[in-house]
């Protein structure tokens, strides 16, 4: 059985690992992002990448069989926040896009206010893919959520470090998503905890 840790215990473990030189903050984000992507495809293998469908081996045949069950390339909406959990989200978005999947990133920014490692992840995403949607201010319907059908939303807005009520624009974002798309038709993955 796995041991459950509090947010404070997890932060202490991460900080100790960074201070020991065992890993960097950026390395932790990359590991977290890879773990989330692996968990997504473990839970929903039919969403796996079209790139895997090439070749003649058993793995390629299984990927082609899964692709026949999916009408088009799966779409991921990755919601990134201003902290380190948002950095995890940018890593996840990059890993998904590198697999040939369609990814759109919605960001509660700006990157200049992010912690350094999370900012690096945001900049790397933007330099490579040139795509980043700002989470819109209050009172405006976000048509990007209505016009695009996302198969999966990844919630990397806030993690276990949040110690205040959710900002109004984040509440509005989630209300927009619920309004535009029935959550039951989309899968939802949370990094750390649901925002």
pLDDT digits (tens, 9 = 90+) for 116-161: 999 999 999 999 988 887 776 556 666 566 556 788 889 998 887 7
In order of their start, the domains of the chain are 25-190 (3.40.50.10260)
- Predicted confidence at residue 63, as pLDDT, reads 56
- pTM for the model: 0.80
Within 8 A by CB and 6+ apart from 40, the residues are: 47, 152, 154, 189
pLDDT digits (tens, 9 = 90+) for 158-186: 887 778 888 887 787 777 776 665 544 67
pLDDT (average), residues 92-117: 88
pLDDT of residue 103 exceeding 60, the answer is yes
Q: What are phi and psi of 93, to 5 degrees?
A: -60, -45
CA–CA distance, 119 with 133 (Å, rounded to integer): 16
Report residue 58 as tokens.
């058993």
């Amino acid at each position: 059985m796995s041991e459950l840790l509090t947010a404070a215990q997890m932060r202490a473990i991460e900080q100790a690992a960074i201070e020991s030189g065992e890993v960097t903050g950026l390395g932790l984000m990359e590991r977290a992002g890879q773990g989330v992507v692996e968990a997504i495809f473990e839970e929903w293998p039919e969403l796996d990448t079209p790139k895997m469908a090439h070749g003649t081996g058993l793995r390629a045949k299984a990927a082609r069989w899964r692709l026949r069950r999916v009408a088009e390339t799966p779409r991921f909406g990755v919601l990134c926040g201003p902290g380190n959990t948002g950095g995890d989200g940018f890593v996840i978005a990059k890993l998904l896009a590198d697999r040939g999947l369609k990814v759109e990133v919605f960001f509660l920014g700006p990157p200049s206010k992010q912690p350094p490692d999370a900012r690096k992840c945001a900049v790397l995403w933007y330099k490579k893919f040139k795509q980043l949607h700002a989470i819109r201010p209050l009172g405006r319907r976000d048509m990007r959520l209505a016009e695009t059908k996302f198969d999966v939303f990844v919630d990397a807005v806030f993690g276990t470090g949040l110690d205040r009520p959710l900002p109004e624009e984040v509440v509005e974002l989630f209300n927009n998503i619920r309004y535009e798309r029935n959550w039951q038709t989309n899968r939802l993955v949370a990094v750390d905890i649901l925002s």
